[in-house]
A and B are shown apart, each in its own frame.
Chain A
C-alpha cells in the first residue's frame, strides 16, 4: 500500500500551474470582461494640483452622441467618502482624517483628482465627451514636499489639518536615545531621502459594477488583492448596505505590489452609477491615470543620527521622518510609516537606545500607501545606509560593524524595544558570511585598489536586512494595539470530494505569487494525495470564506497555516471514519501518507479516497459523525515572522559620466522553510529588480505646481531585464517557530534587502572623491556631480 503514496512535493521546484493559462492568453483580466448592456466610464481629472471648483457645466458632454450620463461629485453625496482602515497606533489620525470621495466635491487637492464621470456606449465617446465638460477652477497654492508642507505659511490642503499634519507618532525611548547620542564617542548625522516610487503593476486598476434592481444586489469585478475587505468597506462604510448585497470578484490580477490592496473611488462610482442608470459600468484606468491617481510608495524625508564607539559598537539611533501621504488618506496609509517602519528601524542590530518620530503629512500629490515592502524597505534602507556611514566614519570594515552589532542566535525571541512583537527566530551571521564568500569579499578590496589605479571605480555594498511578514496577531495589530481597523487572521476551507479530489478555498488572493501551486503542494503532502488532485479556489466573495487577502508576504505564513490546520482536521475525521470502516478502535488507527491504517497492521488500511467516498455517500458513518470531509479554519497567528538575509552588490562607476553599472548581485536570504524554491526565487528576483530600480532608476517627481513630471513610462524608468545582472542567490533556513511549516514569507524580502546594497556599493565606489552619502536614485548625473562637483 505504501507504494501508492504520492511523492512528497513540498520543497520541490514545481513550475507554476497558473502559467499555461496566462502564457497562451487565456487569462481573464478585468478588461476582458464584457457584460451585456455595459457602458464605459471615463473620469475627467483636475489639471490643477489644488483648486476650488467654482462650477462644472456638463451640458455639452451630456448632449454628445453616445453619452449615457455625466455625473459630478455633487450627484454622489448619498454615499460616504472612502474609509480609512488603519489610522495608526493609538488612533493618531482622528479629527484630521480626509479620505477621497467617489468624485471630488468643491475642491481638488492634486493633479489627477477625479472631478466628473462620463458614461458612454464606448470608451472613445466617453473620452471625447470628457473634453466637453467645462470646469471653472480657482487655482490655490500648491505644496508637494513633506518637509515644506509643515512649515508655517505653506499652502493648506484641509481645514481640519493645520500645517498639513496628519499625525505625529513615535516609538522607542526618547530620553535614553538623547543620552546615548549626547555622550557618544562618534555621532554621524545624515538626511536620508527615500524617494517616491510608482508601483507600476503591468495591469492597471479598475472596476466593473453591475446592479440588479430585482434583487438589490451588486456584483463588482475589480483588480483587488483583497476582495472580501473591499466588500466590507464598500457595504458597511461607503454605501451603508447589508454586506450580502455585494459580491466582489477579483478576476486574474496582473500584479499588485500593494497598489491593489486599497479601496478606490472607481469601485464606489461604478457601483453608484450602475444603480443610477440600470446598466453595468466599467472603468479601467490607463497608464497615465495609474501614475497620476493610484497610490504611490515610500516618499520619506528623514533626519538621522547614529551614535557609537570608535571600536564599532552602535549605542544609539534617532530618526525624525516626514512621511508624505499625499492629498488624502488612502486605505491603510497611516500604518505604513508607523508600525511597519518605525518599529523595525533598528534592523538586525542590538541598539541599546533608539527612537523614531514620524510626522504624516498631506501634500498636493497622489496618495501614498503600501508598496512592496511597505515601510520595511524605508527602514532597512535607512539603518543599512547609516551603518555604512558609521563604518566609514570610524574606518572599520562595514561587514565587521555588522557582525559586532548583530542580534545573536541566543537572543531570540528578541525584543527590539520599539514596540514590536519579538523577532521570532534568526541567525544573521551565517547569511552574511555566505554572501561575503560568494562575492569574494576578501579579494575584492585588492581588485578595487587596482582598478582605482587605472581610473576605474568599483564599489561593494552590503545590506543585512530583517523584515516583518504575516503581520499578526489581530489582538496586537488591531484597534486596541496598532490601530488596524480589523483582524489579520486568514481562512481556509478544505473539502475532499467523493472522487478523492481535494478543493481548497482560501481568503488569500494570488496575483502573481503562485499560491495555487504552493497551496496545492502543502495539501498534497499533508493529505497524501497527488498534487494534481488538489484544486485551489479563491478571489470570489461568493465562493470563499471571508479572508483578508494577499499582501505583506502573509499568504504562506497565515493563509498556508490556515490550510494546514484544516487538513489536520480532515485527517482527524478521516482517522475516526477509517476506524469505523476497519472496525478498529479509533485509538489504534493512524493516518499517514494518504491512508489510515491499524497500528501494527499496515495492510488493514483505507485510503483517503476510500474514506472520502464513504464520508460522502454516508451509508455507514460512526454515531454522531456528519457526512463529508469538509473543514474550515480561521487562523490567527501568535506573532509575525521575520525573514532576513544579506545582499551584496558590486558596481562599477564610470568616472567620466557617472553612469553606474551593476556588475554582480549576490543574495543570501532566509525565508524559513521553502515550499517551492522556484517560486521563492522568482519572488526574490522580482523583488530585487524593484529594489535595484529604486537605487538606480525610479523616482516619481512633481514640479512645484504639483504636475507629475514622471507621468509616462518615457520618463519614469522601470527596470528591464537588460539593466540587471544575473542574480547569484543562496539561502540559509531558519524555520519560524510561529507556524507549523516554519515558513516566514518571501514576497517582499528581495525589495527590502536590495536598494541599500546597491547604494552602499555606489557610495563605496565614490570613496576616493570623499563622497559620504548620495540620495537615490544614483542617476549618472547625480553620481557625476558627486565626483566632479
Chain B
C-alpha cells in the first residue's frame, strides 16, 4: 500500500489549479479530501504523475446563506453537517453529510470531491439530484453551472470537462410545505450506500403533492432520478397508499450492480423499500 512516485502541488487559487491542470494534462489528478484517491494510489490502481492539492484553496471553502445555500467545493462533510445555515435551511444535506463513513472520513472528505469523483455508492449525489442543486465549475474556458440532472453521466464519470474544477454547489433553502429525507442501507464495511434514496417533496396547501424529486444511489453504476415514482406521486394525496404505490415504481428502469454484499435482486427490492421510507419521511417533514 505504497503509492508510485508523484509530483505534488498546492496551488493558492482556482486559477492556479486550472493552470497546473492545463500544464500537466492527463498526468494530473486533483486532490481534495483524498478519501477515494489516496486508497487508489496506495493500491496502485491509480498512478498519476502529478497531484494538485486544492484542499487549502481559500475560495473553495465556506458556506454562504442567502436565497440559496452556496457551499464551497472543498468544504468537509463535518463542516456541512454542523453548519447552522445548512441545518436550518437544508437539514437533509446536513443529515446526509453527517452519516457518511465515520468521523475521520467526515473530517477530510469534501462536497466537491464526492461529486467530481461520482462513486456509484457515494451518498451526496442522491441528495444533490433530489434537491436540484447546481454545481458551479471553473475551467480554462471560464465558469459555468452544471445542473444536478446533467452531472452524473456514468460510473465515476461526470459532466466535468477536462481541466475543470468544481468550485461551489448551491442548494435550495427549503420552506413551508417542502420536505426532504435521505434513507440508506449501509454497507457493513465501507459504510457507503448499498442503497441510498434521497427524496424531496413540495405539497399544495391541501396536502396533495405539487412536486417530487427522488434519486437513488448505491444500487447502480450512477446516482439516478426516479421519474416514474415522481410522476406517480405528483398530484396524489401524498398519503401512505400513494407513497407505497409510487415507491413500487422505483428502480424499474435502472441498471444494477451486484457483489458479495448485495445482489442485483436484493438491491432492486431495497430501492423500493428505501424509496418508500425516504418519501414517507419527506412528506411527514413537509407537513411539519
What 0/1 readout, one digit per residue, does chain A (655-694) give for beta carbons within 8 Å of chain B? 0110100000000000000000000000000000000000
- Residues of A within 8 Å of B192, CB to CB, are 714
Q: Is the CB of B189 within 8 A of A714?
A: yes
Interface SS majority for chain A: loop
Q: Is the CB of B1 within 8 A of A287?
A: yes
- Residues of A within 8 Å of B269, CB to CB, are 784, 788
Q: Is the CB of A659 within 8 A of B185?
A: yes
Those of A740-789 within 8 Å (CB) of chain B: 779-781, 784-785, 788
B102 contacts A by Cβ under 8 Å: yes
Q: Kindly report which residue of chain A lies nearest to residue B102, judged by CB atoms.
A: A720
A128 contacts B by Cβ under 8 Å: yes
How far does the alpha carbon of A602 sit from the alpha carbon of B269 in the complex, in Å?
81
Q: Is the CB of B189 within 8 A of A288?
A: no
Q: Is the CB of B5 within 8 A of A715?
A: no
Those of B146-202 within 8 Å (CB) of chain A: 185, 187-190, 192, 194
Q: Is the CB of A123 within 8 A of B39?
A: no
Q: Kindly report which residue of chain B lies nearest to residue A204, judged by CB atoms.
A: B1
Q: Kindly report which residue of chain A lies nearest to residue B263, judged by CB atoms.
A: A781
State how many angstroms separate the Cβ of B14 from the closest Cβ of chain A. 31
Q: Is the CB of B260 within 8 A of A124?
A: no
How far does the alpha carbon of A505 sit from the alpha carbon of B283 in the complex, in Å?
68
Partner of A124, one of B5, B39, B188, B259: B5
State how many angstroms separate the Cβ of B269 from the closest Cβ of chain A. 7
State how many angstroms separate the Cβ of A133 from the closest Cβ of chain B. 14
- Residues of B within 8 Å of A128, CB to CB, are 4-5
Q: Is the CB of B189 within 8 A of A784?
A: no
State how many angstroms separate the Cβ of A755 from the closest Cβ of chain B. 16
- Residues of B within 8 Å of A471, CB to CB, are none
How far does the alpha carbon of A718 sit from the alpha carbon of B102 in the complex, in Å?
13
State how many angstroms separate the Cβ of B100 from the closest Cβ of chain A. 14
- Residues of A within 8 Å of B194, CB to CB, are 780
- Residues of A within 8 Å of B185, CB to CB, are 657, 659, 780
- Residues of B within 8 Å of A781, CB to CB, are 261-263, 266
Name which of A123, A696, A780 has the most chain B CB atoms within 10 A of its CB. A780
State how many angstroms separate the Cβ of A118 from the closest Cβ of chain B. 12
Q: Kindly report which residue of chain A lies nearest to residue B2, judged by CB atoms.
A: A127
Q: Is the CB of A697 within 8 A of B188?
A: yes
Q: Kindly report which residue of chain A lies nearest to residue B267, judged by CB atoms.
A: A781
Q: Is the CB of A709 within 8 A of B260?
A: yes
A447 contacts B by Cβ under 8 Å: no
Q: Is the CB of B1 within 8 A of A779?
A: no
- Residues of B within 8 Å of A784, CB to CB, are 266, 269
Q: Is the CB of B273 within 8 A of A714?
A: no
Q: Kindly report which residue of chain A lies nearest to residue B1, judged by CB atoms.
A: A286
State how many angstroms separate the Cβ of B145 from the closest Cβ of chain A. 33
Q: Is the CB of A701 within 8 A of B260?
A: yes
Q: How many residues of B contact A (CB 8 A)?
A: 24
Q: Is the CB of A713 within 8 A of B189?
A: yes
- Residues of A within 8 Å of B260, CB to CB, are 701, 709-710, 715
What 0/1 readout, one digit per residue, does chain A (117-138) give for beta carbons within 8 Å of chain B? 0000001100110010000000
Q: Is the CB of B1 within 8 A of A123?
A: no
State how many angstroms separate the Cβ of B238 from the closest Cβ of chain A. 21
Q: Kindly report which residue of chain B lies nearest to residue A723, judged by CB atoms.
A: B188
What 0/1 readout, one digit per residue, does chain A (409-433) give for beta carbons within 8 Å of chain B? 0000000000000000000000000
Q: Is the CB of B273 within 8 A of A779?
A: no
Name which of B5, B187, B266 has the most chain A CB atoms within 10 A of its CB. B266
Q: Kindly report which residue of chain B lies nearest to residue A658, judged by CB atoms.
A: B266
- Residues of B within 8 Å of A716, CB to CB, are 189
B80 contacts A by Cβ under 8 Å: no
Q: Kindly report which residue of chain B lies nearest to residue A656, judged by CB atoms.
A: B273
Partner of B273, one of A287, A657, A712: A657
B15 contacts A by Cβ under 8 Å: no
How far does the alpha carbon of A657 sit from the alpha carbon of B270 in the complex, in Å?
7
- Residues of A within 8 Å of B4, CB to CB, are 128, 131
Those of A457-506 within 8 Å (CB) of chain B: none
Q: Is the CB of A714 within 8 A of B39?
A: yes
Q: Kindly report which residue of chain A lies nearest to residue B185, judged by CB atoms.
A: A657
Q: Is the CB of B2 within 8 A of A286?
A: yes
- Residues of A within 8 Å of B58, CB to CB, are none
B240 contacts A by Cβ under 8 Å: no
What 0/1 readout, one digit per residue, does chain A (692-733) give for beta carbons within 8 Å of chain B? 000011000100000001101111111010010000000000
Name which of A696, A714, A781, A784 has the most chain B CB atoms within 10 A of its CB. A781
How far does the alpha carbon of A288 sit from the alpha carbon of B192 in the complex, in Å?
20
- Residues of A within 8 Å of B187, CB to CB, are 717
How far does the alpha carbon of A710 sit from the alpha carbon of B5 in the complex, in Å?
27
- Residues of A within 8 Å of B262, CB to CB, are 780-781
What 0/1 readout, one digit per residue, does chain A (256-293) give for beta carbons within 8 Å of chain B? 00000000000000000000000000000011100000
Q: Is the CB of A717 within 8 A of B188?
A: yes
- Residues of A within 8 Å of B5, CB to CB, are 124, 128
- Residues of B within 8 Å of A720, CB to CB, are 102
How far does the alpha carbon of A718 sit from the alpha carbon of B188 in the complex, in Å?
8
A720-B102, A781-B263, A781-B266 known; A123-B189 Cβ under 8 A: no
How far does the alpha carbon of A223 sit from the alpha carbon of B36 in the complex, in Å?
30
20 contacts between A and B (CB under 8 A): A42-B2, A128-B5, A286-B2, A657-B273, A659-B185, A696-B188, A697-B189, A701-B260, A715-B260, A716-B189, A720-B102, A723-B188, A779-B261, A780-B194, A780-B262, A780-B266, A781-B261, A781-B263, A781-B266, A788-B269
Starting from the known contacts A710-B189, A715-B190, 15 additional A-B residue pairs (CB-CB under 8 Å) come to A128-B4, A286-B2, A657-B270, A659-B185, A713-B189, A714-B189, A714-B192, A715-B261, A717-B187, A717-B189, A779-B188, A779-B261, A780-B194, A781-B263, A781-B266
Q: What are the 6 A-B residue pairs with the smallest beta carbon separation, nearest first? A: A717-B189, A717-B188, A286-B1, A127-B2, A714-B190, A781-B266
Residues of B that sit less than 8 Å from A by CB: 1-2, 4-5, 39, 43-44, 102, 185, 187-190, 192, 194, 259-263, 266, 269-270, 273
